């Protein structure tokens, strides 16, 4: 039996998933860690945490599953995107990694726009400069920690530091490379124009590979630590969202992935590179060779419902919280909820945006508020779908949903009604780690390509079709769309 390991290096834990060559999950292990906020807006993490957690998780999943270490024939990597790891010429980390959720780089984003021009920046990279991306973090280090920058010789992302520890190779997959906004989106490689404008030597950037392409092999030293044989191929993998799309089968045009976790992510595969002219959708390379994707991000999706529950009914189960909402009419008798509790990214890249209930009257009860939270998040996710359509992506046939929010039948139905498309759940629930293992299996020849791998291993187990309430929501959606423009001046003043 041949087995494959998928690693997901997230912000709070590293997961190791063991899969056999038929796609069956044999075991999952996870090792948790924390991140630091040494100053307001800062978010940092020691890369050593990721490697220690990788060692622990791989050893645990091999031990618990009972398979022989010699059965492992490939490793795939996935993980948190955009984080900045700086290393010197000896491969030593120079400072804690600056993470994707770090917000210190507003001034550096302005600098990038000034040097390139916003329109040109978007045309090259597919994206506007946002604080979450890697490039403004590099500028911040240049300007604020010149002693660190003077020693820098290698720039990596979190999962690629794990790759380095495994293989002694400086490499990065093209999906994550695009997420640095130092990539030429159409050419799928580093942009000499971006690097020159930001004064980043090209030699500092790693070699880039496609998702299933072998980037190196497990070194003897790493193999001893992991309890695996040396020489196992390690493939490119992908950022967590691209790898998760592979893990749900969202690898062809028409099938969109929607993750309804703390944040909400809408992910749409494209056969050719496309750009949303104002950069309101992220445009990146896919982990699938020769494909790209659009991505819309809502910062507080299921996180909005969690805030609502924890604030007003702490300890109540979600089932009990949502049960009385089924008796509330769609539209909640004129009540709207804006889900901008932590600012927003799509369609409004506005860190000052605030959450709001709009339309409250004495007739409204607590179940009205609860249902309005679900409807508001669903309306907000539709904003991303409207941008996809406006950017030319038509023919969406199915939305594959994952995340804690879609466990609710009520929420699935509301989403289907508001998005006006069939929602589907699939037989896999491990997201990025499963996608990374499929990339590994494809890379060593088990499957002809990623599309074949997904067809062989991933299938739909349940669907939810739009119902009669879609007519009501279609009338309400324009009212929702008008709320942010009306309240934005107030948000700015409060900010």
Query: Which residues are tagged catalytic?
Result: 240
Dihedral, CA of residue 453, residue 458, residue 460 and residue 466, to nearest 10 = -70
| Rounded Cα gap, residues 298 and 447, in angstroms | 34
Q: Can you state the angle between helices 431-443 and 450-457, rounded to 10 degrees?
A: 120
Whether 255 and 273 have beta carbons less than 8 Å apart is answered as no
Query: Helix H segments across 328-422?
Result: 366-390, 409-419
SS3 34: coil
How far is the CA of 240 from the CAs of 209, 243, 384, 409, in angstroms? 16, 5, 19, 26
Grouping H, G, I as helix, E, B as strand and the rest as coil, residue 135 is helix
Residue 205 burial (CB count, 10 A): 20
Whether the CB-CB separation of 159 and 7 falls below 8 Å is answered with yes
Specify the 3-state DSSP secondary structure of 30: strand
Structural contact between residues 416 and 254, judged by C-beta atoms closer than 8 angstroms: no
Q: Which two tokens stand for residue 190?
A: 């580093």
Q: Can you tell me the distance from the alpha carbon of 175 to that of 213, in angstroms, rounded to the nearest whole number?
A: 12
Q: By C-alpha distance, which of 198, 192, 284 is closest to 241?
A: 284
Pairing of strands 171-173, 207-209: parallel
Tokens of 164: 């380095």
């Amino acid at each position: 039996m041949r087995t494959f390991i998928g690693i997901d290096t997230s912000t709070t834990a590293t997961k190791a998933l063991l899969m056999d060559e038929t796609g069956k999950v044999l075991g999952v292990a996870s090792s948790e860690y924390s991140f630091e906020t040494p100053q307001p807006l800062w978010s940092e993490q020691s890369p050593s945490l990721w490697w220690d957690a990788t060692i622990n998780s791989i050893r645990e999943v091999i031990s618990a599953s009972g398979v022989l270490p010699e059965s492992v024939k490939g490793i795939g990597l996935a993980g948190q995107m955009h984080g900045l790891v700086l290393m010197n010429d000896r491969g030593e980390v120079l400072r804690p990694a600056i993470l994707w959720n770090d917000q210190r780089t507003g001034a550096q984003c302005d600098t990038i726009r000034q040097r390139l021009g916003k329109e040109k920046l978007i045309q090259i990279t597919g994206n506007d400069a946002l604080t979450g991306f890697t490039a403004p973090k590099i500028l911040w280090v240049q300007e604020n920690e010149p002693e660190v920058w003077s020693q820098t010789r290698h720039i990596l992302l979190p999962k690629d530091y794990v790759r380095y520890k495994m293989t002694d190779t400086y490499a990065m997959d093209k999906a994550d490379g695009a997420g640095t906004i130092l990539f030429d989106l159409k050419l799928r490689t580093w942009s000499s124009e971006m690097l020159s404008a930001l004064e980043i030597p090209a030699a500092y950037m790693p070699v880039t590979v496609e998702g299933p392409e072998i980037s190196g092999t497990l070194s003897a030293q790493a193999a001893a630590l992991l309890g695996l044989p040396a020489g196992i191929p390690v493939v490119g993998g992908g950022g967590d969202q691209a790898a998760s799309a592979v893990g749900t089968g969202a690898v062809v045009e028409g099938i969109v992935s929607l993750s309804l976790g703390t944040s909400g992510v809408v992910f749409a595969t494209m056969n050719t590179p496309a750009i949303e002219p104002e950069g309101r959708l992220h445009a990146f390379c896919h982990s699938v060779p020769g494909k790209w994707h659009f991505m819309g991000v809502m910062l507080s999706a299921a996180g909005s419902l969690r805030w609502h529950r924890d604030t007003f009914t702490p300890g109540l189960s979600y089932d009990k919280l949502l049960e009385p909402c089924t008796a509330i009419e769609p539209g909640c008798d004129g009540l709207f909820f804006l889900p901008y509790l932590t600012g927003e990214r799509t369609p409004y890249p506005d860190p000052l945006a605030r959450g709001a209930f709009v339309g409250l009257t004495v007739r409204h009860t607590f179940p009205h508020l609860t249902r309005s939270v679900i409807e508001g998040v669903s309306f907000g996710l539709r904003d991303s779908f409207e941008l996809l359509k406006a950017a030319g992506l038509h023919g969406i046939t199915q939305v594959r949903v994952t995340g804690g929010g879609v466990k609710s039948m009520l929420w699935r139905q509301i989403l289907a009604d508001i998005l006006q498309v069939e929602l589907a759940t699939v037989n896999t629930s491990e997201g990025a780690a499963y996608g990374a293992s499929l990339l590994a299996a494809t890379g060593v020849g088990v499957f002809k390509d990623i599309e074949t791998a997904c067809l062989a291993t991933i299938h739909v187990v349940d669907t939810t079709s739009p119902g009669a309430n879609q007519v009501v929501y279609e009338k309400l959606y324009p009212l929702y769309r008008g709320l942010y423009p009306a309240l934005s001046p107030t948000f700015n003043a409060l900010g």
